[in-house]
Chains A and B, each alone.
Chain A
């Protein structure tokens, strides 16, 4: 498989190209067979390569850009880190493809949808498997593009089109930082392949390394929706739910975490950058968790939960525990996409996103309810489920590596997570049904992938230790063995908080039917998402628009155009002025002649005098 691993991204690429070109002519049946099978093939290949992997495989297909001292080969690399990502991405994508067959069954853009989904899988796999930064950048922007296309899939809805544009532009701002990071790294190292950078990182002063690392991190915050550039993810819920499940839960948003762990030596060398990553991660975690408390749209709650969980992963990597971070990423991919798929099933059944119009769906949608419950238990860190191991691994690493505050915030966020996820369950599945119509269970083609994912989210977390060992050949993975008692103490703390969270949720939403919980101002602020969107608009969007309008009307048309036309008119004016001389009166002409002669004579004679 060593020779064929580079085929992994090419299957969906071929799928995407085929669907885009012939999308309009082939039947839906063919598409619903072709698209998932291609992604399945690449999942199979990545699984096989994962199994046979020994050391690091690099395959250069052709040299992409070669100008002067810059030479960027189109090279793919398969090593432990990218193997995990490849398997998760292709696996989740395969399941979601199958799920989408059911979900998008009666949509007129069916073929187009699967074309974009395949294109996305290709870009994500390219991002994950690339051996150097510019190639990763292709995948990086490729996923940005696909998220634009898929969020704005129902482009007739203005909200969706705006959300897609917003997502792309915010990503683009992140990519601006990423691009500058690439340039800086090139000026530093002269070669942009990961292995080269990781091995030569010590040759560079920490200061510049920090600058480069932070620039790349700007790109990561854009892509993984961390604090400054997270605003696009909640709006991205306008897109179809399987898209949110795949892109905004499992794969794309984790690209940032993957990039940081891929260039971990650079971050480690710079020291400060790593700290910043940890702190940004954990602050985003708690920030997003608080917002999720008060949202009424089921998908927005999950969106904020995603932001918060990714905050966890960044915190994990930030405190030096790359294995823990990646492990959480691995488990998160499964349970978060499951949450989204269940939400999709609920929406598919009820027809609306608003939780206030749901309730009591336990009886109507049993399978969805049970898978949803499993996922909820997982995310809140109940032992036995996968997230318990991965999240606590991160908290343990944080505590041990001296980041006490990060551990504390992490634990509080765990409590909040438990609260908002069970708030969601109680509002949708308990109490009586508040919406119209009669909710029906999702079709079988959607339930199968959900149950598979539920299975994964349970067993996924049972081998944390081997995960770290699997990654160790990368060299910068450290495995710390904590004393047994300390481990119990840490696990206990987060568990207790989780249970408290669940209890409060139960108390508020089941016993007192969810009416009592509004603390007035705090609620409104959280509900308004801290008015960050409005702030950004006020600070950036409107001044840019107004400023350009003003410049356009006054400066561009006014100043420059006027000068250009002005010079034209000046010539005309001059002409008119001169024509005034033509009075038609002989006397005037005689006068001009006389003066001319006299001046001439004077000049001639003057030389004589």
Chain B
């Protein structure tokens, strides 16, 4: 349980999440991979918290979690709406904001 391995894991998670975000086309996966990136970041934050024994960091991790959850809720709702209107929810569908 070395600290290095923890950082390695969080880095891997983050990289995986980013890769997922860019590879997959549909919105759901992109949203999930962003969740994973967030989890990786959380892990890193937590390891620092433990190393520095700081309660504040701990509190922040907690809050980040809760906020992430809220965010997912809204995102899911949005995706659902997209799905309802346009059957499929890939990136293409939401590119109306094109320049």
> Hey, which bits of chain A sit against chain B, CB under 8 A?
578-587, 590-591, 594
Contact = CB atoms under 8 A, between A and B. Distances in A.
B30 A586 contact: yes
A591 B92 CA distance: 16
Contact of B21 (A578, A579, A581, A587): A587
Contacts of A581: 99
Nearest to A591: B22
Nearest to A579: B99
A584 B94 contact: yes
A481 B95 CA distance: 112
Main secondary structure of the interface of B (DSSP, over half): helix
A579 B99 CA distance: 5
Contacts of A590: 21-22, 30
B88 interface: no
B99 A584 contact: yes
B98 A584 contact: yes
B18 interface: yes
A579 B97 CA distance: 11
Nearest to A586: B91
Given A582-B99, A585-B95, 13 more contacts: A578-B99, A580-B99, A581-B99, A582-B98, A583-B99, A584-B94, A584-B96, A584-B97, A584-B98, A586-B27, A587-B91, A590-B22, A591-B22
A582 B95 CA distance: 9
A579 B92 CA distance: 18
A580 B98 CA distance: 8
Nearest to B99: A582
B18 A594 contact: yes
A585 B91 contact: yes
Contacts of A587: 21-22, 30, 91
Contacts of A591: 22
Nearest to A576: B99
A132 B95 CA distance: 85
A583 B95 contact: yes
A579 B18 CA distance: 25
Contact of B97 (A578, A582, A594): A582
A586 B94 CA distance: 9
B30 to A, nearest CB: 6
Contacts of A582: 97-99
Report, nearest first, the 3 A-B pairs whose CB atoms are least far apart: A582-B99, A584-B95, A579-B99
Interface in B70-99: 91-92, 94-99
Contacts of B97: 582, 584
B18 A583 contact: no
Contacts of A584: 94-99
Most buried by B among A578, A579, A587: A587
B13 to A, nearest CB: 15
A206 B94 CA distance: 92
A584 B97 CA distance: 5
Contacts of B30: 586-587, 590
B31 to A, nearest CB: 10
A594 B18 CA distance: 9
A581 B99 CA distance: 7
Most buried by A among B92, B95, B96: B95
24 contacts: A579-B99, A580-B99, A581-B99, A582-B97, A582-B98, A582-B99, A583-B98, A583-B99, A584-B95, A584-B96, A584-B98, A584-B99, A585-B91, A585-B92, A586-B27, A586-B30, A586-B91, A586-B94, A587-B21, A587-B91, A590-B21, A590-B30, A591-B22, A594-B18
Contacts of B95: 583-585
A587 B22 CA distance: 6
Nearest to B92: A585
Contacts of A583: 95, 98-99
A583 B21 CA distance: 17
Contacts of B92: 585
A585 B26 CA distance: 11
Interface string B23-37: 000010010000000
Contacts of B99: 578-584
A582 B96 CA distance: 10
Interface in B21-69: 21-22, 27, 30
A590 to B, nearest CB: 6
A371 to B, nearest CB: 94
A78 B38 CA distance: 108
A579 B95 CA distance: 14
Nearest to B34: A590
Contacts of B94: 584, 586
A150 to B, nearest CB: 72
A580 B99 CA distance: 6
Contacts of A578: 99
A584 B99 CA distance: 7
A242 B68 CA distance: 107
Contacts of B98: 582-584
B94 to A, nearest CB: 7
Contacts of B18: 594
A364 to B, nearest CB: 94
Nearest to A581: B99
A584 B91 CA distance: 9
A587 B98 CA distance: 13
A596 to B, nearest CB: 13
B37 to A, nearest CB: 10
